[in-house]
Structure 1
Amino acid sequence: MAAFFERIWAYISTFFASYNWLNDTLDILLVAFFIFFIVRLVRDSRAEQLVKGIAVLGILYLLATLLNLTTVKYLLKAVFDNGLIVLVVIFQPEIRRALEQAGHSRAGIFRVFDGFNQVDSAAIIEQWHKAIDATAAALMILQKQKMGALVVMERTTRLGEIIRTGTTIEAEPSADLIANIFFNKAPLHDGATIIRDGMICAAGCILPLTDNLQISRELGTRHRAGVGMSENSDAVVIILSEESGIISVAVGGELTRNYTQESLVKMLEDTILWNDKETKRIKKSKKKGKGEEG
């Protein structure tokens, strides 16, 4: 038993003797971050089941190697050799979304530029308050008139491709304007209205439809478009059903329903404004400034 522990201690000593604390630690941290990023990418997505399947194939390949099952090992090796290209094609939307999220990260080097936009960010927050209030009020007007609506609130993922499918507006948000856009005889009422930085950016835009089979068949094209948009970006999508008058919100591919005007305003403020560390900091600094003035 003593010899066993001596061998273990000798192995540990040898390992740390050759361990480069700077390079090896950095190497381990980068690999750990990459694994964490991949786990976040596949979790709660259609890729999750595929990853489990790949893990099973990996175990089978290991067993085939240990048991010297030549044919099985050859077939599995062929699958792994050619599978990467197939995975890139099948999961292009997930990969694209992951790269967009990485590009819009608020961490690390990207925070160097935060200080230059502090005043602008504070102004945008005020503009977002106006847009949220106007949207909620417009939905109440449309709800009474039994008309539908589809509003996309852009966050960090830029929606230039979607905006180009519609008509550019660039207008100050108001309940009357938003309601008029979705009036059932208006030329732009069938598409989505995009709100960027608290301003109405475009209307009549075409959104990608979800292929999620779990979406209820009772929900129409507006709901499928709203969920599809939220799957392909971090946008918040508000849907008003023309048939039932129910207000729904799609975020991250998930649909929540039955919002009132008050609960919708609170949800949008929590998601768009105070869910971001920078806006929390600005809010806190504004309160501090008001206290000093008093």
Structure 2
Amino acid sequence: MADLMEKVSSWLSLLPRISLGNLLEIVIISFLVYEILVWIKNTRAWTLLKGLVVILVFVVFAAVLHLTTILWIMENATTIAVTALLVVFQPELRKALEQLGSRNFLAGILSFDDGKEKQSFNEKTINELVRATFEMARVKTGALMVIERGFSLKEIERTGIEINGLVTSQLLINIFEHNTPLHDGAVVIRGNRITAATCYLPLSDSMSISKDLGTRHRAAVGVSEVTDSITIVVSEETGRVTVAEEGILTRVEDADGLRKILSAAKEEQPVVNRFSRIWKGRLRNGKKAV
């Protein structure tokens, strides 16, 4: 037994020493690799990556068979290929940088807001939102309502028409009424006021979103991926109500369910916990909405 322990000790002594810095590097690199894989899997980059794998297999095949001309062409095309990849992946890279910049740990340091204190919505606003949502759902009026939390939506507001009106069910229903000038696009809600209407939202590139969902739902997921906002969606085809938050779509069955979601959002601080998202699955698609 003593000989065995001595051998084990001698083997362990051959292993490189692992310091606290090494462990920290392992954790950071593992986290980055995970994030990159999730990003690739949930965007069009996954399809492009499969194309790159095919090219890589072809290069290995050419190397095994010593096809020197093909290898020479591939070697000289490498520089051009890197530039081409940056051009092809430009939308995905831009969205990844937007998501990185929208995290609260950077927002606290690099704050470009006007310094005004964030105003939370009250119970009256929640009741008006719930009433308007299910009135529109009953008659199948499509709607898209984005509620600002910690991350500023001023850039999105600039794409629409300024309203600056108190949140009421009558105003929301009139905005989204068919064949009215303001019905197309999203409204932005800050605190207890509707700040803008007919706003354009970024569309999500997530491949996990059901193909049955339309542009309205994809836009709701898109804005929830790059901000900490909550978006209420009313389907024009079915009248079903869905809430988008942190890239996740959740089906809402009744008014009480929507009221609970909004009340919970009102009470909690708008802090994004990145590590908790990993365990919960950041971009899973919750419940099937439509």
With the length of structure 1 as denominator, give the TM-score of the two structures: 0.64
After superposition, residues 163-178 of structure 1 pair within 5 angstroms as: 163-178=157-172
Unpaired segments ≥5 residues, structure 1: 115-119, 280-294
CA distance in 1, matches of 2:13, 2:51: 35
Deviation, structure 1 residue 242: 3.7
The alignment yields a C-alpha RMSD, in angstroms, of 4.3
Aligned with 2:136 (options 115, 124, 142) = 142
Deviation, structure 1 residue 145: 4.7
CA distance in 2, matches of 1:269, 1:178: 19
Answer with 242-251 or 226-235: which moved more: 226-235
Unpaired segments ≥5 residues, structure 2: 1-6, 112-116, 274-290
8 A Cα contact 1:104 1:156, kept in partner: no
Question: Does residue 1:241 correspond to 2:239, yes or no?
Answer: no
- Which of 1 and 2 has higher RCO (CA within 8 Å, sep 6+)? 2
Question: Does residue 1:74 correspond to 2:72, yes or no?
Answer: yes
Corresponding pairs, count = 258
Deviation, structure 1 residue 171: 3.3
Percentage of pairs with the same residue: 36
CA distance in 2, matches of 1:207, 1:265: 24
After superposition, residues 124-273 of structure 1 pair within 5 angstroms as: 124=120, 127=121, 131-155=125-149, 158-184=152-178, 186-197=180-191, 199-207=193-201, 215-216=211-212, 222-223=216-217, 225-226=219-220, 229-230=223-224, 235-251=229-245, 255-257=249-251, 259-268=253-262
**Partner secondary structure for residue 262 of structure 1:** helix
Question: Does residue 1:89 correspond to 2:77, yes or no?
Answer: no
With the length of structure 2 as denominator, give the TM-score of the two structures: 0.65
Q: 1:172 to 1:34 in 2, by over 3 A?
A: same
Deviation, structure 1 residue 130: 5.0
